[in-house]
Structure 1
Amino acid sequence: MRHAATRRSRFPASTTMRTMPGMPRPTFTRSLLTPRHWPAWLGVGAIWLIARLPQRALMWLGRRLGALVRRVPSQRRRIAAANIALCFPELDAAARAALVDANLRDIGLMLVEFALGWMGSKRRMTSISTRIEGLEHLEAARAQGKGVLLVGGHFSHLELCARLVSQRIRIAGMYRRMDSTVFEWVVLRARLDYADAMFEKDDIRGTVKYLRGGGTLWYAPDQDMRSKDTVFVPFFGVPAATITATHHLARMSGALVIPFFHRRLPDGGGYALRLGAPLDGFPGTDVETDTARVNACIEQMVREAPEQYLWVHKRFKTRPPGAPAVY
C-alpha cells in the first residue's frame, strides 16, 4: 500500500492509447448562457464552491446533509429499506433499520464527494490520503499486453475514487449523457481532464478497440438498466436482471477482468482502493455463469462496506416472470 501522492503513475499511456476513439472534449456554445440554463449554472457554482472547502469542512457538510436526508421521508428511504430487507434477511428489524439510516447518512457524503471528484483541483487530489493495493495485478496484465476491465460497484464515492486511482493508472470510463446540457458540458470536461477516454454506454466498438490496445476501463455493471442484453442471476441470493456486457467485452477484446473495490475509511482516514486478482478463466463459454461470477464479486465488495453502497437504486425493479414487484 502506498499513498497516491508519493509517486507518479508507473503506467503512462502510450500515444496510441491517447488517440483512441472516445467522446470528444465538448465545446462551449453561447446557447449555454441563455436564461433557461441559469439555474443549472447556479448549481455548478455551488458545486465548485463545495469542492473548494477544506477536507474537514467538506466532510462536516456531507455529514450534515446526510443527517437531513435521513430525517426527511422519501421514496429513496423506502427503496433502500426494500433492498436491504431483501439482501440481508439474516438481520433483525432493528439492524436493518440501522443500516438504512447509515446508508441515507452516507448519501450526504456522496454529494460532496461527487463535487470534489468533478471539480477538486489536482493539488487537492494529491492531498487526500489514499491507499492502493493490488497494483501488481495490473502490472502483470500490462506485461502480457492485455487490456483490463476494472469491474466494481456503485458505491457512494465512485466518482472520487475513479479520480484518485487515475493518479496512479490511466483509466477510461463508460458514460451516459446527462439531461442538463450545462452539466453535460461541465462534467464531461471534468472527467476528460483525468480520464484516458470516456465512451458512451453504447459505443461497444470504441470500447473494444481501446481495450485491445492495452487500455484500462472502469466499469460498474450492477444497475438494473432494463436492457435486452440481461440475464437473471443471483445478487445476494435474489434473481437480479444483470447486463451481460462484462462477458461480451472481455470476449471481444481479450481483456482481463479485475475486481476493483474502494471504500471510505472511518474517522477521516481517507480511502482504501483494492485491485483483485484477475478472474480466472474469464470469459468462459456460458454468459450466465460469467455474469453470476461478476455479481458474486460485487456482492463480496458490498458486504465489506454495506452502508456505502447505493441501496437507493431500484436494483430489483425488473423481476422474473411471475415474481412479485419489490417496490
Structure 2
Amino acid sequence: MDRPRFRAYFLHPRFWPLWLGIGLLWLVAQLPYPALLRMGRVLGALMYSLAVSRRQIAARNLELCFPELPKAERKRLLKENFASTGIAFFEMAISWWWPKKRLRKLAHIEGLEHLKRAQAEEQGVILMAVHFTTLEIGAALLGQQHTIDGMYREHDNPVFDYLQRNGRERHNLDATAVEREDVRGMLKLLRAGRAIWYAPDQDYGRKQSLFVPLFGIQAATVTATTKFARLGRALVLPFTQMRLADGSGYRLVVHPPLEDFPGESEEADCLRINQWVESVIRECPEQYLWAHRRFKTRPEGEPKLYRKRGA
C-alpha cells in the first residue's frame, strides 16, 4: 500500500469540525505525560457513565472470565478498565505527534534480540499480540526500534484515515500497511523476512475459526495464525505491552519464538494460543479491551451470552 498523502480535498468545509478537534487534541497532547494520564482517567470515568452498552459488554466479559472474583472487585476492575481506555485516547495522540526523542523515553523494551536475530536470518515473523488498550502506543514504541508491518483496515473518514496512517507509519519509514483481507500480500511479506503485528484474540465469526476454551468458555478462535506461520514459513513471537503503574512509561516484551509451531493440528495451536492469551490478560486485566464481544459466536445449540442491543 502506498504511503499516505495529503490531498486538497481534505480541506473541504465538511472536514473542518474534524480538523478543529484534531488541532485541540494536538495542543492537549503537548502537556506533560502525568497530566495526560490524569486527563485520561477523567475521560474514562465519563465514558463509564455514558457508554452504557459498552459498559454492559465489558461487565459481562469480566463476569464470564472472572466468576471467582467478588462482585465489588469486578466493578472496581471495570472502572479501572474504562480509566485505561480513556488514557488510551491520549496515548494515541502522543504516539502520533510527540517528537520521537520524547516518546522514546517512555519505552522499556525487552527481548528485542529475538526480532533482530530473525531479521539477520531473513526469517519472517508473526508478532503475536493481544488487544490491550495500550496497543497503539506499544506498536509505536516498538516501531522506533525495529520496523514492523501491520494489518490495516481503511477508515470511513478519509481525513482521519490519513492522520491515522501518517501517525502510525512515521515510526516505520519502510513499513507496509497490509489490508486485513490481503492474505496473499501478508504471506509475501513474511516470506521476504518481514515482521508483521497480528492479534488473534478477537471473535471474527464462525467461518475461519474453531471452538476452543478461553477462560473456560468455548470461544471462536481464528486459525489464521497457524496458516500464516506455515504458508509464510514464519516464526511466531509473542509480544506484550503494559502501562507501568508508576507512570514511568511502558514495558514491552518480545518473547522467544514459539517452539514446534505450527503443531500437530489447528485445534491444538488455537488452544495453545488461547492459553497464552489468557495468561497475559490475567497479568494485567484492567488494560485489556473488554468492550469487545469476545464470546459472541456460539457453538451450535448454545445460548447467547450477551444481551441483544438495546435490551
Indicate the TM-score class for this superposition, using the shorter chain for normalisation: over 0.9
Distance 1:139 1:257 in 2: 14
Sequence identity percentage: 48
Are 1:260 and 2:227 an aligned pair?
Answer: no
Partner of 2:125: 148
Partner of 2:136: 159
Unaligned runs of 5+ in 2: 307-311
2:112 to 120, 124, 135: 135
Partner of 1:59: 37
1:235 to 214, 217, 228: 214
Mean CA deviation greater in 96-105 or 307-316: 96-105
Per the normalisation by structure 2, the TM-score is 0.92
Asked if the contact 2:91/2:136 (under 8 Å) is kept, the reply is: yes
Secondary structure of 1:318's aligned partner:
coil
Partner of 2:295: 316
1:81 to 59, 67, 76: 59
Are 1:191 and 2:168 an aligned pair?
Answer: yes
Are 1:284 and 2:268 an aligned pair?
Answer: no
Are 1:177 and 2:154 an aligned pair?
Answer: yes
Are 1:125 and 2:129 an aligned pair?
Answer: no
Secondary structure of 1:159's aligned partner:
helix
Task: Evaluate the alpha carbon distance shift between residue 46 and residue 321 of structure 1 in structure 2; reply closer, same or farther with a 3 A threshold.
Answer: farther
Secondary structure of 2:238's aligned partner:
strand
Task: Evaluate the alpha carbon distance shift between residue 64 and residue 281 of structure 1 in structure 2; reply closer, same or farther with a 3 A threshold.
Answer: same
Secondary structure of 1:326's aligned partner:
coil
Shift of 1:317: 1.4
Distance 1:139 1:181 in 2: 35
1:43 to 21, 27, 33: 21
Partner of 2:309: none
Taking only aligned residues, the RMSD between alpha carbons, in angstroms, comes to: 1.6
Asked if the contact 2:149/2:197 (under 8 Å) is kept, the reply is: yes
Q: Which amino acid aligns with 2:17?
A: P
Q: Which amino acid aligns with 1:193?
A: R
Distance 1:285 1:126 in 2: 41
Distance 1:234 1:50 in 2: 43
1:256-296 CA-partner distances (Å, limit 9, x unpaired): 00110110111212110111121111112411211221121
Mean CA deviation greater in 240-249 or 148-157: 240-249
Task: Evaluate the alpha carbon distance shift between residue 73 and residue 253 of structure 1 in structure 2; reply closer, same or farther with a 3 A threshold.
Answer: closer
Distance 2:197 2:191 in 1: 15
Shift of 1:225: 2.2
Task: Evaluate the alpha carbon distance shift between residue 46 and residue 326 of structure 1 in structure 2; reply closer, same or farther with a 3 A threshold.
Answer: farther
Mean CA deviation greater in 137-146 or 270-279: 137-146
1:133-189 CA-partner distances (Å, limit 9, x unpaired): 122322433343311111010101100010101121111111111121111111112
Are 1:222 and 2:201 an aligned pair?
Answer: yes
Shift of 1:120: 2.2
Partner of 1:98: 76
Partner of 1:11: none
Mean CA deviation greater in 173-182 or 35-44: 35-44
Asked if the contact 1:40/1:180 (under 8 Å) is kept, the reply is: no
Q: Which amino acid aligns with 2:43?
A: L
